[in-house]
Amino acid sequence: MPSFDIVSKIDVQTLDNAINTVKKEITTRFDFKDSHVNIELNKKDMKLNPEVESDMKLQQVVDVLISRSMRAGVDANVYDLSKEPYQSGKVLKQEVTVRNGIKQEDAKKLVKLIKDSGIKVQAAIMDDIVRVTGKKLDDLQEVIALAKGSNLGIPLQFVNMKS
């Protein structure tokens, strides 16, 4: 039976390159001249820690981060910007989580979306991936189109297609 996997993986090297590009651009910008800006990527915990002097500069760093990431091929939805920035001495810090893998509740939403669509396929959650199997390749392609069209707030990739 044909099947494929729905995953949400991020290439760490591509992410690191995008962040290095952001650092380089920030150091050359005139509005950041003589100001404290530090962007650290913790590859182990997949967390990004920008530190700046003001809220306005933090928003500019986030804008540059998203635009440069999208140019590098990293989806903007990988950054979880829901945590509020906090003051630490003279600098403003924010903890930005990089989403890697599909969380259990997101996987359940995806499976429910597939089952509610009425397409004759089976969807199963396997750790941080969702495996979709069906009798026809056309049904699997419909599921891919459905998942791309839905706005779940996570970047999705479709891999391991077997017929």
Q: CA separation (Å) from 82 to 11, 36, 95, 151?
A: 22, 23, 9, 17
Give the pLDDT confidence score for residue 71 in this predicted structure. Answer: 92
What pTM, to 2 d.p., does this model score?
0.79
Please list the residue range(s) of the chain that carry CATH number 3.30.70.860.
3-8+101-162
Region 30-59: mean pLDDT is 89
Per-residue pLDDT tens over the stretch 45-82:
899 999 998 889 999 999 999 999 999 888 888 898 88
Q: Does the 12-98 domain belong in CATH 3.60.150.10? A: no
Cβ(64)–Cβ(22) below 8 Å: yes
Give the pLDDT confidence score for residue 67 in this predicted structure. Answer: 93
Contacts 24+ apart (CB under 8 A), 76-82: 77/153, 77/154, 77/155, 78/10, 78/15, 78/155, 79/48
Give the pLDDT confidence score for residue 95 in this predicted structure. Answer: 92
Please list the residue range(s) of the chain that carry CATH number 3.30.70.990.
12-98
Q: Please check the confidence at residue 31 and state whether its pLDDT lies above 90.
A: no
Give the pLDDT confidence score for residue 82 in this predicted structure. Answer: 87
Per-residue pLDDT tens over the stretch 142-162:
999 998 888 888 888 898 888
Give the pLDDT confidence score for residue 34 in this predicted structure. Answer: 84
State the DSSP string of 108-138: HHHHHHHHHHT-SEEEEEETTEEEEEES-HH
Q: What are phi and psi of 110, to 5 degrees?
A: -65, -45
Region 103-126: mean pLDDT is 91
3-8+101-162 in CATH: which number? Answer: 3.30.70.860
Does the CA dihedral 104-115-9-47 come out positive or negative?
Answer: negative
Closest CA to 49 of 10, 12, 88, 100: 88
